[in-house]
Amino acid sequence: MSSVEEFRTEIRGWLKTHLSGSFAALRGRGGPGREHEAFTERLTWERHLAAHGWTCVGWPKEYGGRGASIAEQIAFHEEYALADAPARVNHIGEQLLGPTLVDHGTEEQKARFLPPIRAVEELWCQGYSEPGAGSDLAAVRTRATLTGGRWVVDGQKIWTSLAHEAQWCFVLARTEPGSRRHAGLSYLLVPLDQPGVEIRPIVQLTGTSEFNEVFFDGAVTDAAHVVGAPGDGWRIAMATLGYERGVSTLGQQVGFRRELDALVALARRNGAAADPDIRDRLTRAWAGLEALRAGALRGTDPSAAKLYWSHWHRDLGELALEVCGPAATLAAGAPYELDDWQRLFLFSRADTVYAGSSEIQRNIIAERVLGLPKEPRP
């Protein structure tokens, strides 16, 4: 048995043993559009993972990880999804900020921030998008000034996932007055529990609130809490986005597979599969998911992968409502109770917008991958 197979067997057995008792009820809970589900209980579960060494498996051992290879990380995320384990609450700290600090942080930053992330004692959110600077991230207007040994931050962030549950935010802010676009930005680590921070949840189409507006009005953080050099924030921010689209997406695809299998089963039960058009679209969805997995294993360009999976998932949501029939247009109960298929349809509309809209991804692919002329700008 290879080391990867041994690793896969180990995590599969651990999940079978531990995802039981009080944790058994958490199977399938949480995830996009459902982050409100059993959040406190999922946090307890994730701390249980940490206590047994199953968080941050890809981090180097010197920082509390297992030093797992890429193949072992793939095995972990796939087995976690196959076990129908609850959605993780610490993804942003573990998968985004943690690797950023490992590669770009100072030793002092690593010593201060990595252990609480690994132990799931401090949760993080991502302060990138702003009104007027969503996919055009270089248009950031939030500013920070170094005064008396502290950064003073003023501005607004939006679409900040789980900010209402987080204790810290990594914030992209303009720290050089008069700078434009990618220049003069810094990557700051800012505590949220302070008078200069206001967090306002945003109600989504699903009726829930998992992302927020965050307002900084004289919020402060230590001068040493800048990752990389001041003014080098764009490079660090792009590194974080690269980690965001890493091997954990293979676990996401297991979730997609579960949704597709459930939809095929529904189409067979309610007779929708008798419609040739529905059968054809279900077949195309299956083929698309196979292509998605093959691309992920081969190492498809991150922008191409994001463009492909987001449209695949949005199309699956549209297909789900057609399989369900006219009754899918009615809420399951008052005042706004949605079933899983309705929630999939509504939340998957956001897939092609968050983490870089499809329009921006196409520009990136055209200009940076294919080498085509840049789009004319005013």
Amino acid at 312: W
CB 179 within 8 A of CB 138: no
Cβ contact 175:184 at 8 Å: yes
Place of tokens 């922008």: 303
- DSSP, res 374: P
- Half-sphere CA count of 69, side-chain side, radius 13 A: 9
* Distance of alpha carbon 141 from alpha carbon 85, whole angstroms: 39
Identify the active-site residue in 35, 79, 130, 244. 244
Rounded Cα gap, residues 357 and 175, in angstroms: 26
Q: Are 300 and 365 in contact (CB under 8 A)?
A: no
Q: Could you tell me whether strands 124-127 and 168-174 are parallel, antiparallel, or unpaired per DSSP bridges?
A: parallel
Closest CA to 117 of 134, 84, 94: 94
Distance CA 317, CA 324 (A): 11
Q: In the chain, where do the E strands start and end?
A: 124-127, 143-147, 150-161, 168-174, 185-191, 197-202, 211-222, 226-227
CA distance 358 to 364: 10
Rounded CA gap, 74 and 103, in Å?
Answer: 21
Cα(124)–Cα(238) distance, integer angstroms: 18
**For residue 256, what are its two tokens?**
């997609």
Tell me whether residue 244 is one of the annotated catalytic residues: yes
Chain centroid to CA 360: 18
Active site residues: 244
